[in-house]
Amino acid sequence: MALSVPYQAPDEDIFGTLASELVAQLPERLSTRVLENAQRLAEHPAIVDGGVRWSYAELGDEIRAARRWLEGLGFRPGDRLMTVSENGRALVVLLLAASEMDVWVAIVNSRLSAQEIDLIRDNCLPRRIIYTCEASIDATSHAERHGADRYQHPQLGGLALSALLESDPEPVSESGTEQVAAMIYTSGTTGTPKGVMLTHRGILYIASISGGMRHLNEGQRVYGVLPMSHVFGLSSVCMGSLYNGACLYTVPRFDAAHLLKTLDEERISVLQGVPAMYARALEYLKRERCELKAPALIYISAGGSPLDSDTKTRVEAAFNLTLHNGYGLTEASPTISQTRIDDRHESNTVGRVLPLLEYRLEPLGSTATGETAGDEVGELWVRGPNVMKGYFRQPEATRQSLTADGWLNTGDIARVDRNDQLYIVGRSKELIIRSGFNIYPPDVEAVINEHPAITLCAVVGRQVAGNEEVIAFVQCEQGVELDMAEFKAFIAERLAPYKRPSRIVTMEALPSTATGKILKGRLRDLAQQEASDASNR
């Protein structure tokens, strides 16, 4: 693939139907197919939320009832409904009822700090905020802090409602390509968070195409622990399941014991997670010396953060299944590529680009390549129905990442091989340039993760006089003390000198989001602060 030349991923058969045909069948709203399933699959299980079990017919009834309730609460087409929530039936129903009303849902994880929640509220300017208190003790805390009124909904459980707020509705479009369904806010504790405007068509493209490829169809039971406040949990897991007629198990928070128990007792057939979730499940199995029982599991996949080869190998050995991989970002609803269900890759490919999407690689500003000389490496740009409409009321930020003709700059450095397999080399803003050599943190992290004492790691760059150095943060298995001399020797055998960390920092737990994604920005700040403190001594 030549750099900068746009390429369109070909049409593809997805379990007997061409992707182009599936795209042509996409409805204009998220709720349309789910309500059709309420008729067509009336008695099939749709939602399991703790002890509550709903069929598709019951889910349809609750969506229609919630629409009437939201109308009574003063919601108008074009308004924003902000949910402070964790996964549960209430959040699913609110999303789909709002879809019927052309109301946008700003889905906000209740585990965010008070400052983050308030910054999002001030940017979103919602008509009301609904807190899903039954599913989240943190939502209850935010509701109390905001003075929201508690409300016991007969079917959706314990909630809290803000007062009716002054808010101007946005224009409404009949077209699902233009109409915003949901806003997911990018994480960050400083400045103004960016509200990523995701359209109905964008989310439904992922639900249909990516969800279909993941075997999310009638009869499947899907473990839904990825937060819906993260676009992977929203589009691929939640909407992918309900659009295709599967049963969704809504799980507010990851707990290894609960996962392993549910895999066995509820005969879960599809499991999607982040790499850290699988690593913690394996750690639990080892610590508790218990056996993995997953009698109905047919598909497992990882996303949300890079999957290193060691984690992939260990998970596949434990589950006796291929751990599928994929790649995306919030601004692409999120999936851009994924491995196909029959793929058996040993490499760390994130699969082929999804059918009909356009993509290209732009040359990097730096020409120093180190060991990657000869590879076609560039910054990945994509265009397609899944690309966001923009950042809410932030036109300058939108212009910086989205062109007028719809090309999204992912900010990721990638390469594509002769078999059209996509590989993510690293984030362009995380690229470390040390003594003229490009260092991609995932390369270093993959080696560190091979060490038996390491559970998680993150590699960042630190500015020093006239150069950058490599800093590694590591989290060890519980109760294990790292022999630093042995560990450095282990790294030295496997990495070129310029890639080896100048400093290794052990932490009890690496800072992470609710989805398990490591907060590298926070680690970069820690690394830089440490250098500053050392220079001031």
pLDDT digits (tens, 9 = 90+) for 155-198: 999 999 999 999 999 999 999 999 999 999 985 434 578 999 99
Whether the CA torsion 164, 166, 170, 174 is positive or negative: it is positive
Most confident of 263-277, 414-428, 431-445, 505-519: 263-277
Q: What pLDDT is recorded for position 215?
A: 81
CB 242: neighbour CB atoms within 10 A? 27
Assess whether pLDDT exceeds 90 at residue 264.
Answer: yes
Q: How far apart are the C-alpha atoms of 472 and 448, rounded to whole Å?
A: 9
- Tens-place pLDDT, residues 321-364: 999 999 999 999 999 999 999 998 888 899 999 999 999 999 87
Q: What pLDDT is recorded for position 112?
A: 85
Measured at the alpha carbon of residue 329, what is the angle toward residues 404 and 10, in degrees to the nearest 5?
Answer: 75
Amino acid at 404: A
Assess whether pLDDT exceeds 90 at residue 438.
Answer: no
Residue 249, sorted as left (phi over 0), alpha (psi -120 to 50) or beta, turns out to be beta
Lowest-pLDDT range of 15-29, 424-438, 462-476, 518-532: 424-438
Helix residue spans in 269-348 (DSSP H): 275-288, 309-319
Most confident of 210-219, 371-380, 396-405: 396-405
Residue 342's contacts (CB-CB under 8 Å, 6 or more residues apart) are none
Residue 510's contacts (CB-CB under 8 Å, 6 or more residues apart) are 456, 457, 458, 473, 475, 518, 519, 523
The model's confidence at residue 371, banded by pLDDT at 50, 70 and 90, is very low
Lowest-pLDDT range of 238-242, 387-391, 432-436, 516-520: 432-436
Q: What pLDDT is recorded for position 308?
A: 79
Assess whether pLDDT exceeds 60 at residue 368.
Answer: no
3-state helix, strand, coil in the chain (%, to 5): 35, 25, 40
Q: What pLDDT is recorded for position 242?
A: 98
The model's confidence at residue 214, banded by pLDDT at 50, 70 and 90, is confident
The model's confidence at residue 535, banded by pLDDT at 50, 70 and 90, is low
Most confident of 239-243, 495-499, 516-520: 239-243
Q: Which class for 94: exposed (0-12), middle (13-18), buried (19 or more C-beta within 10 A)?
A: buried
Mean pLDDT of 57-68: 98
Q: What percent of the chain is modeled with pLDDT above 90?
A: 76
Six-digit token string for 434 = 């040390």
Q: What pLDDT is recorded for position 193?
A: 85
- Tens-place pLDDT, residues 106-117: 999 998 888 889
Q: What pLDDT is recorded for position 433?
A: 78
Q: What pLDDT is recorded for position 373?
A: 42
Q: How far apart are the C-alpha atoms of 185 and 447, rounded to whole Å?
A: 32
Q: What pLDDT is recorded for position 2?
A: 54
Q: What pLDDT is recorded for position 487?
A: 96
- Tens-place pLDDT, residues 143-156: 999 999 999 999 99
The model's confidence at residue 479, banded by pLDDT at 50, 70 and 90, is confident
What is residue 481's three-state secondary structure? coil
Greater pLDDT, 137 or 519: 137
Q: Which class for 295: exposed (0-12), middle (13-18), buried (19 or more C-beta within 10 A)?
A: exposed
Does the domain made of 431-536 have the CATH classification 3.30.300.30? yes
Q: Which fold has domain 7-424?
A: Rossmann fold (3.40.50)
Q: How far apart are the C-alpha atoms of 409 and 185, rounded to whole Å?
A: 18
Assess whether pLDDT exceeds 70 at residue 295.
Answer: yes
Q: What percent of the chain is modeled with pLDDT above 70?
A: 95
Rounded to the nearest integer, the mean pLDDT of the chain is 92
Residue 274's contacts (CB-CB under 8 Å, 6 or more residues apart) are 226, 302, 303, 304, 305, 515, 516, 517
What pairing do the DSSP bridges indicate for beta strands 52-55 and 104-109?
A: unpaired
Look up the pTM and report it: 0.84
Assess whether pLDDT exceeds 50 at residue 102.
Answer: yes
Lowest-pLDDT range of 140-154, 378-392, 394-408, 438-452: 438-452
Per DSSP (E only), the strands in 186-319 are: 195-199, 221-224, 247-250, 270-273, 299-302
Q: How far apart are the C-alpha atoms of 251 and 257, rounded to whole Å?
A: 13
What is residue 482's three-state secondary structure? coil
Q: Where are the domains of the chain?
A: 7-424, 431-536
Six-digit token string for 210 = 């990516």
- Tens-place pLDDT, residues 4-61: 789 999 999 998 999 999 999 999 999 999 999 999 999 999 999 999 999 999 999 9
